[in-house]
C-alpha cells in the first residue's frame, strides 16, 4: 500500500516538522537574549539578568534539539532523495555549503562560550558571543530559505544534460520569492517567541513565581506582538501576491478555486473533494478573492483546472492555509486585547493570563501550517518546473524506509513530550539559578606530573 | 584515470577530497573524544559522571558540526557519490542519527529535567553515544570494502562496528586524563589501557582483512616498491600504541608522565588509519566504481564554494582554538553564570 515514495515523503515531512519547531524558537530567542544582555549591561537591573539566566536554559535545550534534528536533515538528501542532488546539486550544494561554513560553526562554537563562558571571558566578550550566536542562527535561516525559495521560484541557471548549472548566483540567492519568505519566517519566529515568553511568564505569574519579572516580560512580549502581528499579515499578503505571480496553482489550492473565474469568491470554509473537483459545504464571500488577489472585483483568478497534471493535493494546502491564517488572527486579537488591558490597569486579569498560557506554543502551529502550505503547495514538483518529487526518490526498499520512519516517529514523540515537560518544569523552579549542568564533583588533586 | 591536474576541473575535486578528509579526521577526533566520554559514562560514579559531561559541555555541539561539514562536502563537491553512498548506508545512517539525537538531547535533559529522571537520561547518553559510534563503524566498514554484500563483508563491517567505539573510548579516556584529576583521572588511565588493546586489535584486523576484499587495494600496498614507501604506516602506528601504553603504565605507577601524550598519540593513530584508508581507496570515492572526478560537481559550482572554504575555514579553525583556550585546563563544574 505504501511505496518508497510516499514513505520517504512522510519521513521527510516528519523530520522537517520536528526540526523546524526548534529553529523557529532559537532564531528569535537568540536576539531576545542579546536584548536582555544589553539591557542588563546598560541598566544593571536584575530583572534582565534573571530573564537572561532563565531563558538561556530554554535556549540551550532548544538549540540542542535543533542541532541534532538538523544533522538528520543533512543526511536525508542522500539517503532518501539522491535524485535531488544529482539534478540540482550544483545549485543546492553551494547554498548548503555556505550555511555550514558561515553559520553552523559560528553558532555552535560561540554557543559554548555563551552558555558556559560568562565567568571565563569579559562581559563584553560574553555579550559579543551572544550576538554571534543570534547572528549565526539568522544567517543559517537566510541560506536555507534562499535554497527553499529557489526550489519554489528557480532562476539563474540553465539545464545541461539534465543537470542544473548556475549562471547567476545573485539571481539564485535573491530569487523572486526569497525576500518574502525570509521576512515572513523571521517575523513568524519572533511571534512564536513572543507568545512563548508571554505564555511561560503567565504560567510563572499564576504560580506566584518572580512576579515583577514575569509581568515585565509579558508586557514586553505583547508590546512586540502588537506590532508584529499586523506586520505579519501585510508581509503574508505580499508573499501571497508573489506566489500568485510565480506559482498560481498553489494559490488556487490555498483558496480552493477549482475553475478559472472572474469575480472569484473567498472561501471561508469548505471541504474540497478531489474526486469531483469541487468544494462541499462551502461558505464563501462573493468576489472577495478577486478583490484581494487582483485588486479588482471582477479580476480573473486562475483555477486548478488551468494546470492539468501539475496540481498539488488540495485538501492539506487548503486546510493548512486556514489554520495558519486562523492562528495569525488569534495572535493579532490576543495582542490587541493585551494592549487594551494593560492600558486599563497594571494587573492582567487571571482569565487573560490563562489564555496566554494556553497559547504558549501557538506559534508552532502557525509556522507548521504555513510550511505545509508552501511545501505541499509546490507538489508534484520538488524543484518547481524542474524536477518532480517522484523522480528524485531513492531506490531503497519500502520496508527499510518504513523501519526508519517508525523509529523517527517514536523518537520524536518522546522528545517533544520531554521538551514541553522540561520547559514547564524549569518554569516551576522558583530559583532557576540553582540548576547547573553538572554538579560539583569534589575532585581537586591531580596525579602525575601534569 | 587521473585528469590534467593543472586544469581547475582536475585539481578542484582533489582540493575538495582533501577538505573532506580534513573535515572527517577533525570529526572523528573531536566528536570521537566526546562520544568516547559518553561510551565510558556508565563506568563512573554519579559525581564523576557530572565531571565527565562538564569536560565536553562547551565543545560537543561544534564537534558535531564537523560531521555536517564532512557530509556537506560530500554532498556539495561529489553529489553523484553522495546519493550512492548514503543510499547504500541507509540503515546505519538512520541508526547513527537516532544515536546522535539521543545523546545530544540527553546532554541537556539530564541537567534540566527532574533529578529522578537523571539516571534515564544518563543511560540514554551512554546508549546514544555507543549507537552512533557503532553505526559509524559499520559505515566505515561498508565503504572500505565497496559495499560488498557477501556474509564475509558483513562480518568485517561488524568487527569495525565494535572497534570504532573502542577507539572513540580511547580518545575519550585520554581526553579525561588531560581534563580531570584525582580518582577519575586514575580510572581514565585504566579505561584507556583496556581500550588501547581493543583498538589495536581492531586496527590490526582491518589492516589485514582489507586487502582480501580488493585485489586492487592489495596490489597498491604489497607491490614493489610501494611496500617500502608504505612501511612507515604500520611501523608508526605500532610505535604509537606502544608509546601510549608505556605512558599509561607510568601514570598507573604514579611516575611523572605528560598527560597530553595519550591523547596526542591516539589522534596520531586515527590520522594514520585514515590516511591508510584514503590511500587504499584513492582515486575512487565508491571503490572500483566511481572516481572523485566522475563524482564531482560542475567546476563553476566548485569555484563558488572553493572561495568560501578558503576564506571561512581558517576563521573557523581560529575561533575553535579561541574556544578551546577559554575552557583550557582541568574541568570545572559547568554553570551558566
The pLDDT-based confidence of B305 (bands split at 50, 70, 90) is: confident
pLDDT over threshold 70, residue A204: yes
Tell me whether A275 touches chain B (CB under 8 Å): no
Instruction: Note whether A71 contacts B89, CB cutoff 8 Å.
Output: no
Our CA-based measurement puts residue A29 at a distance from the nearest CA of chain B, in whole angstroms, of: 17
Instruction: Note whether B105 contacts A68, CB cutoff 8 Å.
Output: yes
Q: Highest mean pLDDT range out of A221-235, B261-275, B293-307?
A: A221-235
Q: Look at chain A and count its residues.
A: 450
Q: What single string gives the DSSP state of each residue in A416-436?
A: HHHHHHHHHHHHH-S-GGG--
Instruction: Note whether A437 contacts B54, CB cutoff 8 Å.
Output: yes
Per residue in A346-394, pLDDT tens?
788 889 999 999 999 999 999 999 999 999 999 899 998 889 998 888 8
Contacts for B103 with CB less than 8 Å, ≥ 6 apart: B35, B38, B124, B125, B127, B128, B129, B132
Instruction: Note whether A448 contacts B255, CB cutoff 8 Å.
Output: yes
Nearest Cα residue to A446 out of B54, B324, B185, B305:
B185
Interface subset of A 86-115, CB within 8 angstroms of B:
86, 89-91, 93-94, 96-98, 100-102, 104-106, 108-113, 115
Q: How far apart are CA A151 and CA A194, in angstroms?
A: 30
Nearest Cα residue to A309 out of A381, A386, A394:
A381
Position B3 in a domain = no
The pLDDT-based confidence of B335 (bands split at 50, 70, 90) is: low
Q: How far apart are CA B19 and CA B70, in angstroms?
A: 8
Instruction: Note whether A112 contacts B54, CB cutoff 8 Å.
Output: no
Our CA-based measurement puts residue A342 at a distance from the nearest CA of chain B, in whole angstroms, of: 33
Instruction: Note whether A425 contacts B254, CB cutoff 8 Å.
Output: no
Position B4 in a domain = no
Which of B93, B182, B336 faces A75 most closely, judged by CB atoms? B93
Percent pLDDT > 70 in chain B is 98
Instruction: Note whether A450 contacts B320, CB cutoff 8 Å.
Output: no
Q: How far apart are CA B58 and CA A4, in angstroms?
A: 40
Judged by DSSP in three states, A444 sits in coil
Note down the domain range covering B22.
11-326
Which of A394, A445, A448 faces B256 most closely, judged by CB atoms? A448
Residue A431's pLDDT is 62
Residues of B in contact with A449 (CB under 8 A): 256-258
B254 φψ region: left (φ > 0), alpha (ψ -120 to 50), beta (else):
left
Q: Tell how strand A163-166 and strand A157-160 pair up.
A: antiparallel
Domain tally for chain B?
Answer: 1
> Taking the model in full, what pTM does it have?
0.87
Which of A53, A68, A82 faces B336 most closely, judged by CB atoms? A53
Residues of A in contact with B181 (CB under 8 A): 443-447, 450
Our CA-based measurement puts residue A175 at a distance from the nearest CA of chain B, in whole angstroms, of: 18
Q: In terms of DSSP H, where are the helices of B224-328?
A: 226-230, 232-252, 261-281, 292-295, 299-326
Helix H or strand E encompassing A360: none
Q: How far apart are CA B274 and CA A346, in angstroms?
A: 65
Tell me whether A60 touches chain B (CB under 8 Å): yes
Our CA-based measurement puts residue B326 at a distance from the nearest CA of chain A, in whole angstroms, of: 6
Q: Are A180 and A189 in contact (CB under 8 A)?
A: no
Residues of B in contact with A108 (CB under 8 A): 61-62, 64-65
Our CA-based measurement puts residue B156 at a distance from the nearest CA of chain A, in whole angstroms, of: 22
Position B1 in a domain = no
Percent pLDDT > 90 in chain A is 44
Cα dihedral A137, A143, A148, A149 in deg (nearest 10) = 120
pLDDT over threshold 60, residue A93: yes
Tell me whether A223 touches chain B (CB under 8 Å): no
CA A18 from centroid of its chain's CA atoms: 10
Instruction: Note whether B79 contacts A90, CB cutoff 8 Å.
Output: yes
Q: Are A236 and A170 in contact (CB under 8 A)?
A: no
Greatest alpha-carbon pair distance for chain B in Å reads 64
Instruction: Note whether A72 contacts B250, CB cutoff 8 Å.
Output: no
Instruction: Note whether B334 contacts A436, CB cutoff 8 Å.
Output: yes
Per residue in B55-105, pLDDT tens?
888 888 888 888 888 888 888 888 888 878 888 888 888 899 899 989 888
Cell output for A189? 519566529
CATH number at residue B239: 1.20.1630
Our CA-based measurement puts residue B119 at a distance from the nearest CA of chain A, in whole angstroms, of: 13
DSSP state letter for A438: S
User: Chain B residue closest to A447 (CA)?
Assistant: B182
Position B336 in a domain = no
The pLDDT-based confidence of A256 (bands split at 50, 70, 90) is: confident
Position B262 in a domain = yes
Selected residue with higher pLDDT from A316 and B228: A316
Instruction: Note whether B333 contacts A79, CB cutoff 8 Å.
Output: no
Amino acid at each position: 500500500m505504501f511505496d518508497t515514495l510516499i514513505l520517504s515523503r512522510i519521513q521527510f515531512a516528519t523530520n522537517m516538522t520536528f526540526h523546524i519547531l526548534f529553529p523557529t524558537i532559537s532564531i528569535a530567542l537568540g536576539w531576545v537574549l542579546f536584548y536582555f544582555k544589553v539591557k542588563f549591561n546598560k541598566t544593571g537591573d536584575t530583572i534582565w539578568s534573571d530573564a537572561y539566566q532563565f531563558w538561556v536554559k530554554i535556549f540551550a535545550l532548544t538549540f540542542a534539539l535543533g542541532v541534532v534534528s538538523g544533522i538528520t536533515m543533512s543526511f536525508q538528501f542522500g539517503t532518501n532523495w539522491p535524485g535531488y542532488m544529482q539534478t540540482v546539486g550544483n545549485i543546492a550544494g553551494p547554498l548548503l555549503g555556505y550555511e555550514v561554513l558561515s553559520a553552523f560553526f559560528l553558532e555552535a562554537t560561540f554557543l559554548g562560550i555563551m552558555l558556559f563562558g560568562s565567568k571565563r571571558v569579559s562581559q563584553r566578550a560574553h555579550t559579543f558571543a551572544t550576538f554571534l550566536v543570534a547572528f549565526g542562527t539568522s544567517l543559517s535561516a537566510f541560506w536555507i530559505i534562499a535554497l527553499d525559495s529557489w526550489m519554489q521560484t528557480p532562476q539563474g541557471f540553465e539545464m545541461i544534460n539534465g543537470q542544473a548549472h548556475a549562471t547567476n548566483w545573485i539571481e539564485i540567492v535573491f530569487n523572486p520569492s526569497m525576500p518574502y519568505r525570509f521576512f515572513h519566517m523571521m517575523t513568524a519566529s519572533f511571534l512564536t517567541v513572543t507568545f512563548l515568553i508571554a505564555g511561560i511568564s503567565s504560567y510563572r505569574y499564576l504560580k506566584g513565581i518572580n512576579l515583577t519579572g514575569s509581568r515585565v516580560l509579558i508586557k514586553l512580549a505583547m508590546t512586540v506582538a502588537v506590532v508584529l502581528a499586523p506586520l505579519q499579515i501585510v508581509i503574508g499578503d505580499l508573499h501571497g501576491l508573489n506566489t500568485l505571480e510565480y506559482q498560481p496553482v498553489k494559490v488556487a489550492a490555498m483558496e480552493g478555486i477549482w475553475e478559472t473565474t472572474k469575480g472569484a469568491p473567498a472561501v471561508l470554509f469548505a471541504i474540497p473533494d478531489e474526486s469531483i473537483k469541487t468544494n462541499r459545504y462551502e461558505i464563501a464571500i462573493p468576489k472577495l478573492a478577486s478583490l484581494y488577489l487582483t485588486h479588482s472585483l471582477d479580476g480573473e483568478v486562475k483555477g486548478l483546472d488551468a494546470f492539468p497534471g501539475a496540481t498539488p493535493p488540495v485538501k492539506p494546502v487548503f486546510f493548512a492555509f486556514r489554520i495558519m491564517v486562523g492562528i495569525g488572527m488569534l495572535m493579532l486579537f490576543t495582542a490587541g486585547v493585551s494592549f487594551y488591558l494593560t492600558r486599563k490597569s497594571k494587573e492582567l486579569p487571571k482569565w487573560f493570563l490563562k489564555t496566554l498560557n494556553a497559547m504558549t506554543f501557538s506559534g508552532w502551529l502557525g509556522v507548521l501550517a504555513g510550511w505545509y502550505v508552501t511545501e505541499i503547495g509546490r507538489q508534484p514538483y520538488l524543484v518547481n518546473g524542474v524536477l518532480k518529487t517522484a523522480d528524485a526518490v531513492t531506490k531503497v526498499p519500502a520496508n527499510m524506509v518504513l523501519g526508519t520512519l517508525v523509529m523517527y516517529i517514536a523518537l520524536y514523540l518522546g522528545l517533544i513530550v520531554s521538551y514541553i515537560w522540561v520547559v514547564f518544569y524549569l518554569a516551576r523552579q522558583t530559583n532557576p539559578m540553582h540548576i547547573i549542568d553538572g554538579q560539583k564533583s569534589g575532585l581537586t588533586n591531580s596525579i602525575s606530573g601534569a | 584515470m587521473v585528469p590534467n591536474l593543472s586544469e581547475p576541473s582536475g585539481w578542484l575535486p582533489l582540493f575538495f577530497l582533501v577538505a573532506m578528509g580534513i573535515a572527517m579526521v577533525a570529526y572523528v577526533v573531536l566528536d570521537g573524544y566526546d562520544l568516547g566520554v559518553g561510551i565510558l559514562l556508565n563506568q563512573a560514579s554519579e559525581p564523576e559522571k557530572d565531571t565527565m559531561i562538564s569536560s565536553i559541555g562547551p565543545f560537543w555541539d561544534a564537534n558535531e558540526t564537523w560531521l555536517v561539514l564532512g557530509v556537506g562536502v560530500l554532498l556539495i563537491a561529489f553529489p553523484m557519490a553522495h546519493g550512492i553512498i548514503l543510499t547504500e548506508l541507509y540503515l546505519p545512517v538512520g541508526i547513527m542519527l537516532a544515536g546522535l539525537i539521543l545523546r545530544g538531547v540527553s546532554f541537556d535533559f539530564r541537567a534540566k529535567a527532574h533529578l529522578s529522571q537523571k539516571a534515564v537520561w544518563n543511560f540514554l547518553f551512554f546508549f546514544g553515544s555507543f549507537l552512533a559510534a557503532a553505526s559509524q563503524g559499520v559505515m566505515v566498514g561498508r565503504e572500505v570494502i565497496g559495499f560488498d554484500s557477501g556474509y564475509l563483508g558483513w562480518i568485517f563491517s561488524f568487527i569495525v562496528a565494535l572497534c570504532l567505539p573502542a577507539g572513540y573510548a580511547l580518545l575519550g579516556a585520554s581526553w579525561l586524563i588531560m581534563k580531570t584529576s584525582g580518582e577519575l583521572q586514575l580510572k581514565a588511565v585504566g579505561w584507556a589501557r583496556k581500550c588501547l588493546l581493543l583498538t589495536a586489535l581492531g586496527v590490526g584486523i582491518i589492516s589485514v582483512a582489507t586487502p582480501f576484499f580488493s585485489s586492487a587495494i592489495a596490489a597498491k600496498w604489497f607491490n614493489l616498491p610501494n611496500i617500502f614507501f608504505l612501511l612507515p604506516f604500520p611501523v608508526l602506528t605500532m610505535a604509537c600504541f606502544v608509546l601510549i601504553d608505556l605512558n599509561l603504565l607510568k601514570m598507573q605507577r604514579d611516575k611523572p608522565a605528560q598527560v597530553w601524550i595519550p591523547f596526542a598519540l591516539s589522534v596520531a593513530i586515527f590520522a594514520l588509519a585514515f590516511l591508510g584508508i584514503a590511500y587504499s581507496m584513492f582515486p575512487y570515492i565508491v571503490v572500483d566504481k566511481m572516481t572523485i572526478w566522475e563524482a564531482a560537481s560542475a567546476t563553476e559550482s566548485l569555484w563558488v564554494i572553493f572561495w568560501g572554504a578558503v576564506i571561512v575555514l581558517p576563521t573557523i579553525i581560529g575561533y575553535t582554538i579561541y574556544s578551546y583556550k577559554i575552557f583550557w585546563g582541568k574541568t570545572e563544574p559547568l554553570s551558566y553564570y
